[in-house]
């Protein structure tokens, strides 16, 4: 209906302009009645109803060109940042796929939904919750998904609905490419074994086939998203394109691996990493109570880890190319000015820093995510926001950005003022948490500090000064001169901390 109103108003204006302009000696004259009619149609036009393109990636950290990593080749993501606002300090609420994505799509913190693990179901835990997709359906949008938005076991659930929420979408598409079909060709470490399926969701493994983008699942995700854009261009749409890369196993066409010669891939020193962790509580490094260091599997060599880092970067550049397809689709259909574009990842990722791999930690590297907003309603171009923001802020941002009223139940805050005002700032912190039955911790990030408590402080505390120690090398929590900061941040964290 809204799309029809858009076209009706536009065509009415064109009709009056063409039918009643009178050419007198080469000059156009507008009778006053016609001028008034044109003005009526212009004034009667409904406010713009923006489209939304919601681009998700899986396990993507901020190793991107626009975030300052000149080695990683991401021209299309960089273009998005130049077109709009890049949030330099954006944080997930839980550095694990399922809880993080459920939090984003509901605008609620994990402790509110009780969604604390990858096997949880949002409809079982909170059956009456209104998700982002449901909200925009009610507002008359076409709402469709392709790929991973809610949690999928990656790669085992590729080609299925995974743990998706059926009520969130009008349409759902689950492509399956050669990365899934030919899992037996993936090389996994330690040892470089091939031919064994299963267990790839937590693995250090890669494959670099000579192939075309569209043979891969994520290439198919981009192609389908382009089709969805073109098919729905005459009505308001909310299209969610969820890429599976760079989640392990790291699979991409060989041409993307060729961008990163193996000899150029640097790995952090394990000796320095071990020294770095001497003042860190043991719980900060463990998963399910088991210490796995360095990396994640016994027997991984430095060369094998380097190969995985190369493959991760290749996967990132592969995703960047797919993002380019989506931008081009908007440009080719004259939708760029009328579409809010959001690019995000569900959490960060370790690639050998501190001798760690993967996520599920409360360190900066694990909870910090890329977040870029461009397109409609974004008055600031190539702007960088340093204030901490949270992924739960996306739901209220899109509600307000589309001209609607924010539901008071949403626990995030709208980012629209950052998109409009060059001088806007806030002092709201970002809160993240890690939950396993034997390992629970909460972390708060302010403009300068990251403070973390494990088991309410009984299993240790961490304090890092990001003004002077962005890599979180020195834990200041037990230094007497910083106790007033520990006390203040602990008090700020207390309302969010629930231990199960």
Catalytic residues: 97, 151
The number of angstroms, rounded, from the C-alpha of 156 to the middle of its chain's C-alpha atoms is 21
The number of angstroms, rounded, from the C-alpha of 485 to the middle of its chain's C-alpha atoms is 31
3-state secondary structure of 302: helix
φ and ψ of 62, to 5 deg: -95, 25
Q: How far apart are CA 444 and CA 489, in angstroms?
A: 7
For residue 207, CA distances in Å to 200, 248, 351 come to: 12, 10, 18
Q: Are 340 and 373 in contact (CB under 8 A)?
A: yes
The CA-to-CA distance between both ends of the chain, in Å, stands at 48
Q: How far apart are CA 401 and CA 406, in angstroms?
A: 10
Two structure tokens written together for 104: 């984003």
Tokens 């009056």 belong to which residue? Answer: 16
Q: How far apart are CA 356 and CA 453, in angstroms?
A: 20
3-state secondary structure of 255: helix
Q: Which residues contact 12 (CB under 8 A, 6 or more apart)?
A: 41
Two structure tokens written together for 226: 């382009």
Name residue 356's beta-bridge partners. 295
What is the total residue count of the chain? 500
Q: Provide the sign of the torsion angle of the four alpha carbons 87, 93, 97, 98, taken in this order.
A: negative
Q: Minimal CA–CA distance to 396: which of 362, 419, 375? A: 419
Find the angle CA(482)-CA(486)-CA(489) to the nearest 5 degrees.
135
Q: What is the DSSP secondary structure assignment for residue 248, as one 8-state letter? A: S
Tokens 């060599």 belong to which residue? Answer: 301
The number of angstroms, rounded, from the C-alpha of 16 to the middle of its chain's C-alpha atoms is 46
Alpha helices (H) in 333-449, listed in sequence order: 364-367, 394-401, 416-420
């Amino acid at each position: 209906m809204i799309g029809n109103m858009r076209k009706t108003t536009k065509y009415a204006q064109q009709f009056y302009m063409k039918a009643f302009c009178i050419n007198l000696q080469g000059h156009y004259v507008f009778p006053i009645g016609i001028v008034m009619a044109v003005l009526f149609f212009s004034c009667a036009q409904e406010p713009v109803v923006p489209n939304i393109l919601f681009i998700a990636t899986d396990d993507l950290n901020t190793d991107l060109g626009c975030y300052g990593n000149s080695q990683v080749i991401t021209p299309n993501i960089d273009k998005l940042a130049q077109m709009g606002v890049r949030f330099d300090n954006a944080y997930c609420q839980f550095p694990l796929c399922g809880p993080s994505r459920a939090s984003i799509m509901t605008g609620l913190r994990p402790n509110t939904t009780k969604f604390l693990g990858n096997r949880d179901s949002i409809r079982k835990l909170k059956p009456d919750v209104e998700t982002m997709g449901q909200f925009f359906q009610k507002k008359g949008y076409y709402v469709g998904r392709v790929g991973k938005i809610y949690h999928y076991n990656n790669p085992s659930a590729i080609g299925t609905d995974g743990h998706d929420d059926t009520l969130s979408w009008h349409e759902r598409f689950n492509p399956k490419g050669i990365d899934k079909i030919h899992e037996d060709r993936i090389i996994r470490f330690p040892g470089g074994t091939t031919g064994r399926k299963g267990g790839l969701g937590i693995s250090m493994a890669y494959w670099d086939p000579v192939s075309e983008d569209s043979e891969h699942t994520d290439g198919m995700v981009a192609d389908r998203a382009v089709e969805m854009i073109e098919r729905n261009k005459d009505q308001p749409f909310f299209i969610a394109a969820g890429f599976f890369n760079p989640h392990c196993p790291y699979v991409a066409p060989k041409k993307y691996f060729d961008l990163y010669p193996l000899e150029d891939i640097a790995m952090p020193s394990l000796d320095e990493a071990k020294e770095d962790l001497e003042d860190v509580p043991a719980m900060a490094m463990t998963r399910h109570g088991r210490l796995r260091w360095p990396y994640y599997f016994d027997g991984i060599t430095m060369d094998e880890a380097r190969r995985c880092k190369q493959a991760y970067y290749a996967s990132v550049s592969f995703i960047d190319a797919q993002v380019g397809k989506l931008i081009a689709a908007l440009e080719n259909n004259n939708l760029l000015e009328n579409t809010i574009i959001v690019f995000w990842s569900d959490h960060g990722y370790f690639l050998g820093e501190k001798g760690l791999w993967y996520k599920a930690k409360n360190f900066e590297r694990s909870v910090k995510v890329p977040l870029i907003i461009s397109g409609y309603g974004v008055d600031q171009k190539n702007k960088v926001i340093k204030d901490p923001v949270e992924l739960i802020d996306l739901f209220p941002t899109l509600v307000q950005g589309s001209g609607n009223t924010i539901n008071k139940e949403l626990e995030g805050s709208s980012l629209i003022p950052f998109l409009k005002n060059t001088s806007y700032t806030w002092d709201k912190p970002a809160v993240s948490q890690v939950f396993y039955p034997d390992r629970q911790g909460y972390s708060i990030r302010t403009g300068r500090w990251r403070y973390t408590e494990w088991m309410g402080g009984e299993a240790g505390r961490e304090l890092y000064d990001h003004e002077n120690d962005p890599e979180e090398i020195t834990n200041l929590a037990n230094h007497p001169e910083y106790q007033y900061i520990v006390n203040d941040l602990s008090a700020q964290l207390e309302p969010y901390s629930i231990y199960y």
